[in-house]
Amino acid sequence: MPSDLPSLQPPTPERRDLVIAQLSENFAAGRIDVDQLEQRIDLALRVATVAELDALVADLGTGVPTPVSAPAASVVPARRPGEKRLSVAFFSGFERKGVWRPATRHYGLAMLGGFNLDFRNAELGPGVTDVYLFALLGGVQVTVPPDLDVETSGFAVMGGVNEVSRHPRGAEGRPRLRIHGTAVLGGIEVKVKERRRPPAEESGE
């Protein structure tokens, strides 16, 4: 039976996103290092209660981060394949393109680095795929095809988020991509380009 105590309730996706944004800001301020950032974000995606989620940022006001231990296995829900994914570019870069299968909730962090996500040949599942992007002194580029239902929103602090209006509205049940961007001294750009043909088609085979 679910608990009536708010702290023992499962966190909403919005609350998880808020904690991830707070962790990113604290990394940018130098209060936690990249290993602590990755560990805490991974836990933020998995913990089962609001209390466990809030504990990941409870110590950051003191400026002395406390090592965070993973919750007991009994309270961590098993991760379903394709449900969530975290990508981090720290002093580095990477690119996802061609045929690939994004998770239904994909988190990307660019810190003193950058990455490209190309969705033109991505195999999106039915319904909504949410992509949460955080650029801290880094850059993110997203490429989408003109026939994909896309919605973007963003927030920037001394940085930039290039948005595209939603286009086109897909039929019920068709794939839809929602991009949420936050840039702090960094940039996020969404470009619309025609789909790339598979190599076999380009070579005439």
79 is written with which tokens? 């991760």
Question: What is the rounded end-to-end Cα distance, in angstroms, of the chain?
Answer: 59
Alpha-carbon span 168 to 170, nearest angstrom: 6
Q: Convert the pLDDT of each residue in 74-124 to its tens digit.
A: 333 333 345 667 777 777 888 889 999 988 888 888 878 889 999 999 999
* Residue spans per domain, the chain: 1-67, 83-194
Which residue from 63, 57, 65 is spatially nearest to 21, judged by alpha carbons? 57
pLDDT digits (tens, 9 = 90+) for 22-77: 887 787 677 888 778 878 887 887 889 999 999 999 988 644 444 444 444 333 33
List C-alpha distances in Å: 84 to 87, 135, 145, 160. 10, 19, 23, 26
